[in-house]
Amino acid sequence: MILEPRFTDDLSDLPTFKFGPSSLTWWGVLGFMVIEGAGFGLAFAAYFFLMGHEQGWPPEGRLPPDLLAGTLFLVIILLSEIPNTVIKRAAKAGDVPTIRLLLPLMVAVGVVLLIIRGFEFNSLNCRWTDDAYASIIWALLLLHASHILTDWLDTVVLCALMYTPVAYEPRRWGDVDENSMYWRYVWMLWIPIYLMIYWVPRL
Amino acid sequence: MTDIRADAFDSMRERERVRVEEEERRLAAERRKIARDGPKLKGEKLAARLDLAWRRPPGIIGWLATVDHKEIGRRYILTALGFLALGGVLALLMRLQLSKPDNAMIGAERYNQLFTMHGSTMMFLFAVPVMEGVAVYIIPLMLGTRSTAFPRLNAFSYFMYLFGGLMLWGAFVLNVAPDVGWFAYTPLAGPEFTPGKRADVWAQMITFTEVSALAAAVVLVCTILKARAPGMTLSRMPLFAWAMLVQAVMIIFAMPAVALCSSMLISDRTIGTNFYNAAEHGDALLWQHLFWFFGHPEVYIIFIPATGFVSMITETFCRRPVFAHAVVVLALMSTGILAFGLWVHHMFATGLPRVGYSFYTAASISVSVPTGLQIFCWLATMWDGRPRFQVPMLYVVGFIVTFVIGGLTGVMVAAVPLDLQLHDTYFVVAHFHYVLIGGAVFPLLGVLTYWYPKITGRMMSETLGKIGFWMVFLGFQLAFFPMHWSGLLGMPRRVYTYPAGLGLEVPNMLSTVGAFVVAAAVGLFVINGIWSLYRGVIATPNPWGAASLEWATSSPPPVYNFAHIPVVESETPLWDVDGELPVVTGLRVDEKEMLLTTVVAATPDTREPVPQATLWPFISACAIGIVFIASIFSPWAIAVGVIPSFIALTAWFWPKELKRTAEPVIT
């Protein structure tokens, strides 16, 4: 038979949301960050594996990618951490007006970055079909572009949601907080990729 | 001018603040009226209200929309067993072809498709998903909670898996089945040597199953870390939950490797990249490194859940906790870590630096240490306990015998000189079937018998089960032991026939007979399963007298799992309660809600709303599935397909009612 219950604590007063590791979605986001990190790590390994076979990097007769677009991308994405931090703090404080003010800015930053990314593909000085070097730097840039695109789409949806009455639900502040955490991950990953695409071929 | 604007902004903020405060007061008043379980609301009255809150909509829509982990877990298990049967039929066809020399029943090309389909089906569509399926069903019950984390992601994961399997088998029926082996080595699988779509089908099947496995892994990790019953500290967590935690983390680190390498393969094949094309400075060995960085851990991803099954069965049927709980946990973790350090032992025959040979030999041998520790812990449990040799326990004994033989041949082929002789022979085929069937399928059959009463409410027939066990066990040895022999005689794997007069006739005939015995036994298992569903003895909540929480609820469990959330005070909770189960109360009864606890100490942390049933995970899986399949034919499918996939995923997350409620609900 099913055991009779012996009542201990009553948890009615337990909160329905807390930030950070108390939040289930925080763990979910972390899980997907690790998955993507493992994917990027292995792509980096593939890059160095292919590089190890070559006499020169880029292979002889090929120019390394032009610096302008990628560097501009780097500067903007680093600067975007300023509004990102303000948003993250506002989320923790439940400051909805500030979130509503700054999330559209992050959406705009995403648009600018995606446009610059288009120019970056144009400045690689190779096509993906040329050789293994070209394939792997296109792959790295494309992987990061899809990272930017998915985070941008996510930010657009979140931004729209924060303009509805549910913006005052603490769980939504958690979404904003975790979106900011993810954006940090996106720009941090860009630093090694930037170095691998633009500077390792110049060493 | 600026001042006026700032003032206007400030007063706007002020008005907004007042409005929000008013709203908060109103919601707080509503919150006090919410009905919750407790001493005043228990028994049948509670059950009726919980049932109403948790039940999914009826009909086909409800079937597709369900987010109940038990329904999804059952589907996962049944689908995986269906693929086991299909993969098994292919194995029988191959055994028939090999039963005599120079057989012309199946030609070389078809044979290539058969072994590729067999391996891919068994690894990607049976072994990993069945482990996930059992866990998705059992883990929330074992942890004393009402749902998995992210139940919609869980539903999505099942549909992705199903669609991936249907695509592969649809391709087989349409005669576009892959024929490049389950590990699809380049350059054979590249565009130069395998034109057409066969290899692309394989690569996209990988994409489906990897998305599915990764989603399920995140679901399980979050469930195990955050949804355990109060008091179930990490050190009190049942060993199956530990095994699934280690396995899910391994999936998270291993699957991206196969995702990356199969994407690179399909881009070499469809848009002309050169990752594996030696003519343009690519490298075919890059494939092997990336594939085995996934492929080796994959073996442990299949095996580690099975060790969890073995621990649970051993504990119950020996009537004592598993000997040295902490050692078993540490062994699981070190197996999980070491598994990532030995992928190169699959590549000994490709030529490596000397130091590489030594390192990977040492690493491969060292992984037998934690596994050996676990086996000694189970033996000690049996020695010190009072074992009852019912069907699940018989499978544990069969597992130990068979797996140890497979482990020993594993240590043998870890040695490079021997491996170079035996590489790609039937000796290796024997080895990995010993570790995979002995190490994973035996415990699986045992655990399906063990958890069958929990899932269906009836017991499986013990007599049929015992006959089936001895047929599986002996049939397996008959089928696979002679393969050591044919391998030592030099018979290569993946060749559709062999000439007469080399001494290969007898071992091959024995293997074929054994394969049919195993198939008959699996058939008997299925018959037993179906017969017992209608005629089996009705199961009590805890028919085996087990210790873990899944046995604290009725068999089968109600849709909400537990009327009150149980509290855990020891490693073996049901053995240590005195007629009454300690519980906590205060969860909502008219909306779906679960309890989250802290990661290590499992103290109550927050109350978490559980998403309602919805069609969007299914629709998302359809949209993304169409993109995956279409991308075999045109890379533009990905660019176009982003749009419907984005719409479906947004609808999945978007709240259906955009107004605040007293406490959060996920609509």
In DSSP terms, B609 is beta-bridged to B593
Contact A4 B579 (CB under 8 A): yes
Angle, vertex CA B574, rays to CA B570 and CA B580, nearest 5: 100
* Residues composing chain A: 203
Quick check: is B564 in a domain?
no
Q: What is the CA radius of gyration of chain B?
A: 27
Percentage with pLDDT > 90 across chain B: 94
Buried residues in A100-128 as b, exposed as e (16+ CB within 10 A):
eebbeebbebbeebeebbeebeeebebeb
- Asked if B475 and B520 count as a contact pair (C-beta separation under 8 A), the reply is yes
Q: Distance, in angstroms, between A120 CA and closest chain B CA? A: 19
Q: Which fold has domain A64-202?
A: Four Helix Bundle (Hemerythrin (Met), subunit A) (1.20.120)
- Whether B273 sits inside 8 A of A138 (CB atoms) is yes
Q: Residue B202 has what pLDDT?
A: 97
pLDDT at B189: 97
Whether B655 sits inside 8 A of A166 (CB atoms) is yes
Among A156, A195, A65, CA closest to A119: A65
Alpha-carbon gap: A25 to the closest alpha carbon of chain B (Å): 8
- Confidence band of B2 (pLDDT split at 50, 70, 90): low
B569 assigned to some structural domain: no
Percent of chain B with pLDDT over 70: 100
pLDDT band at residue A107 using 50, 70 and 90 as cut-offs: very high
B window 281-300, beta carbon within 8 A of A: 281-283, 286, 289-290, 293
Query: Residues 10..29 of A with a Cβ closer than 8 Å to B: which?
Result: 10-18, 21-24, 27-28
Task: Please give the structure tokens belonging to residue B487.
Answer: 């391998």
Q: How far apart are CA A19 and CA A14, in angstroms?
A: 14
CA distance to partner chain B, nearest, from residue A129 (Å): 5
pLDDT tens digits, one per residue of B329-371: 999 999 999 999 989 999 999 988 888 899 999 999 999 999 9
Q: How confident is the model at residue A25, as a pLDDT? A: 96
Mean pLDDT, residues A48-71: 94
Mean pLDDT of B605-619: 97
Asked if A17 and B606 come within 8 Å (Cβ–Cβ), the reply is: yes
Burial letters A135-156, b for 16+ CB under 10 A, else e:
bbbbbbbebbbebbbbbbbbbb
Residue B270 within any structural domain of the chain: yes
| Lowest mean pLDDT segment, chosen from B492-496, B602-606, B654-658 | B654-658
Q: Which residues contact B506 (CB under 8 A, 6 or more apart)?
A: B482
Q: Are A52 and B283 in contact (CB under 8 A)?
A: no
For residue B38, list its beta bridge partners: B41
pLDDT band at A1 (very low <50, low <70, confident <90, very high): low
What is the distance between the alpha carbons of residues B268 and B282, in angstroms, rounded to a whole number? 10
| The pair of three-digit structure tokens given for residue B10, joined into one six-digit string | 């400030």
Q: Which domain covers residue B284, as residue numbers?
A: 59-535
Mean pLDDT along residues B139-159: 98
At B542, phi and psi to the nearest 5?
Answer: -130, 70
Residues 122-181 of B with CB under 8 A from A: 149-150, 153
Q: Which of A70-79, A118-127, B11-20, B312-321 has the lowest mean pLDDT?
A: B11-20
pLDDT band at B422 (very low <50, low <70, confident <90, very high): very high
Instruction: List, as ranges, residues 179-198 from A with C-beta within 8 Å of B.
Output: none
ipTM: 0.96
Contact A9 B584 (CB under 8 A): yes
From B256, B583, B596, residue closest to A6, measured CB to CB: B583
Where is pLDDT greater, at B353 or B442? B442
Is residue A127 less than 8 Å (CB to CB) from chain B? no
Distance from CA of A76 to the nearest CA of B (A): 26
User: Residue B538 — φ and ψ, nearest 5°?
Assistant: -65, 135
Closest CA to A41 of A143, A126, A145: A143
Give a yes or no: residue B588 inside a domain.
no
Answer yes or no: is B404 within a domain.
yes
Chain A CB within 8 Å of residue B214 CB: yes
For residue B185, the one-letter residue type is Y
Does the CB of A146 have a partner CB in chain B at under 8 Å?
no
Residues in chain A within 8 Å Cβ distance of B352 = none
Quick check: is B207 in a domain?
yes
Asked if residue B6 has pLDDT above 90, the reply is no
Long-range Cβ contacts of A41-45 (<8 Å, 24+ apart): A42/B256, A42/B257, A42/B260, A42/B290, A42/B293, A43/A136, A43/A139, A43/A140, A43/A143, A43/B260, A44/A140, A44/A192, A44/A196, A45/B289
Residue B563 lies in a domain: no
Instruction: Round to the nearest angstrom and report the end-to-end CA distance of chain A.
Output: 73
What residue has token string 């103290």?
Answer: B603
Q: Considering only residues 592 to 631 of chain B, which have any Cβ-Cβ distance to chain A shorter than 8 Å?
A: 595-596, 598-599, 604-609
Comparing CB atoms, the residue among B225, B283, B664 nearest residue A50 is B283
CB contact under 8 A, B581 and A6: yes
Query: Which chain A residues in 64-93 lie under 8 Å from chain B, judged by CB atoms?
Result: none
pLDDT digits (tens, 9 = 90+) for B460-471: 999 999 999 999
> What pLDDT does residue B10 have?
81
Scan for tokens 């989603």, then name that residue.
B215
pLDDT, tens digit (0-9, with 9 covering 90-100), for A23-43: 999 999 999 999 999 999 999
Q: Is A95 an 8 Å CB contact of chain B?
A: no
CB interface of A with B, residues 26-65, below 8 Å: 27-28, 31-32, 34-36, 38-39, 42-43, 45-46, 49-50, 53-54, 59
Tokens of A191: 């630093």
Q: What pLDDT shows up at residue B12?
A: 80
**What pLDDT was estimated at residue B13?**
80
Residue B232 has pLDDT above 90, yes or no: yes
CB B297 within 8 A of CB B246: no
- Provide the percentage of residues in chain A whose pLDDT is more than 70: 100
Size of interface A-B (CB pairs under 8 A): 201
Look at the pTM and tell me if it is higher than 0.80: yes
CATH of the domain at B400: 1.20.210.10
Q: Mind listing the pLDDT tens digit for each residue in B360-418?
A: 999 999 999 999 999 999 999 999 999 999 999 999 999 999 999 999 999 999 999 99
Question: Does B1 score more than 60 pLDDT?
Answer: no
Instruction: Establish if B54 belongs to a structural domain.
Output: no
Is a pLDDT exceeding 80 seen at residue B113? yes
Q: Which of B253, B567, B598 sits opposite A38 (nearest CB)?
A: B253
First to last CA, chain B: 45
Note whether B654 contacts A34, CB cutoff 8 Å: no
Residue contact A16–B286, C-beta within 8 A: no
The 3-state DSSP class for residue B213 equals helix
A4-10/B580-585 β-pairing: parallel
- The shortest C-alpha distance from B471 to chain A (Å) reads 35
- Name beta bridge partners: B36: B588
Contacts B587 to A, Cβ<8 Å = 11
SS (H, E, C) B34-62: CCECECCECHHHHHHHHHHHHCCCCHHHH
Considering its fold, how many domains does chain B have in total?
Answer: 1
